[in-house]
Amino acid sequence: MAKYLGKNIPQEYADFINSNLINGIWATVDENGYPRTAPITFIRVKSENTLLLGIGAKTRMADNVKRDGKISLCIVEAGDIALSIRGKARIIKEPMDCNKYMAVVSVDIEEVKSDTSPDSKVVRGIGIEPRTERGARFIQEVNRELDELVR
């Protein structure tokens, strides 16, 4: 049962997101008005009403952010966490210092909603692991740069 939490992300969720490798699904609006979804690994809470996302700079998702800016993000994680966040996004840094193919998106949060259910519990989220040592370094570098922007 959806519970609307307002325009601010509660501190306990912000702390969880900022201290873990979070994976979610985000959606933008394409040029034909349809939702376009993609997995996302680089998520940080900058303030109670602002997120930072690390995204591929030369992707259709980035093009959609530049054109429209409307996004939705779904985070499902162990510990019975099921959050939907809706907001207006804009690219604030392109390229990132750590990788010329990445950009930073700032999201002004418009709505936060808990989607947990009284009848079932979330016991695991979307799991990823790097395929290579290079992939592990990439994840560390992007998250490190986002962490610096949050401070």
Q: What is the 3-state secondary structure (H, E, C) of 17-37?
A: HHCCCCCEEEEEECCCCCEEE
What pLDDT is attached to residue 20?
A: 86
Percent of the chain with pLDDT over 70: 100
The answer, yes or no, to whether residue 1 has pLDDT greater than 90, is: no
CA dihedral 6→49→100→151, nearest 10 degrees, is -140
How far is it, in rounded angstroms, from Cα 124 to Cα 79?
7
CATH 2.60.120.620 fits 3-150, yes or no: no
**Concatenated DSSP letters of 121-148:** ----------SSHHHHHHHHHHHHHHHH
Question: What are 37-56's pLDDT values in tens digits?
Answer: 999 999 999 999 999 999 99
CA atoms in the 13 A half-sphere facing the CB of 127 = 3
- The label of the residue with tokens 């992707």 reads 59
Helix (H) or strand (E) holding 60: helix 60-67
Domain boundaries, the chain: 3-150
Res. 86: pLDDT tops 90 = yes
**Cβ proximity of 106 and 116 under 8 Å:** no
Q: Note the pTM of the prediction, 2 decimals.
A: 0.95
Whether residue 26 contacts residue 40, with contact meaning beta carbons closer than 8 Å, is answered with yes
At residue 63, the pLDDT reads: 98
